[in-house]
Amino acid sequence: MLPADPVAPGSTTLGRRMPDDVTPTDIRQQGRRQLGITWSDGSESSYDVRALRLACGCAQCVDEWTRERTLDPASVPEDVHPLSIQSVGRYAIQINWSDGHSTGIYPYRRLRALAEELS
């Protein structure tokens, strides 16, 4: 399975250059519905956990060839939440979700882009 990561190294997101070496220094649950990340450049991001689940880019949620989203939002419970979060190398996290989904990888670049897209 390949993660959907449309943000290439050194590319821009919403007109701003994404740092090539940005990494999380802290990942924490902020109440029942929010996940917070502090980044190595000092910025903070907050994500609605259901929106983050719906943004999963794995092959079960996005067609690998067309990049069309195949995940039906109605199939994701409103109260979905992370059960655990693991580091994937030095470039991503993998989230084990309460709805049983655990195959998605969220590269740090994608998370940074999502923070802007979802806000």
The one-character DSSP state at 94 is E
pLDDT higher than 70, residue 8: no
Between 47 and 119, residue with greater pLDDT = 47
Percent with pLDDT over 90 in the chain: 76
| pLDDT tens track for 69-96 | 999 999 999 999 999 999 999 999 999 9
Q: What pLDDT sits at residue 4?
A: 40
Residue spans per domain, the chain: 51-117
Q: What pLDDT, on the 0 to 100 scale, is given for residue 20? A: 60
Whether the pLDDT of residue 12 is over 50: the answer is no
Burial tier of 106 (Cβ tally within 10 Å: 0-12, 13-18, 19+):
buried
**What CA–CA distance (Å, rounded) separates 22 from 112?**
9
- On the question of pLDDT at 46 being above 50, the answer is yes
Q: Is pLDDT larger for residue 2 or for residue 89?
A: 89
Decide if pLDDT at 19 tops 80: no
**Smallest Cα–Cα separation from 92: which of 79, 108, 103, 77?**
108
Q: 97-116 pLDDT, tens per residue?
A: 999 999 999 999 999 999 98
User: What is 51-117's CATH number?
Assistant: 3.30.2020.30
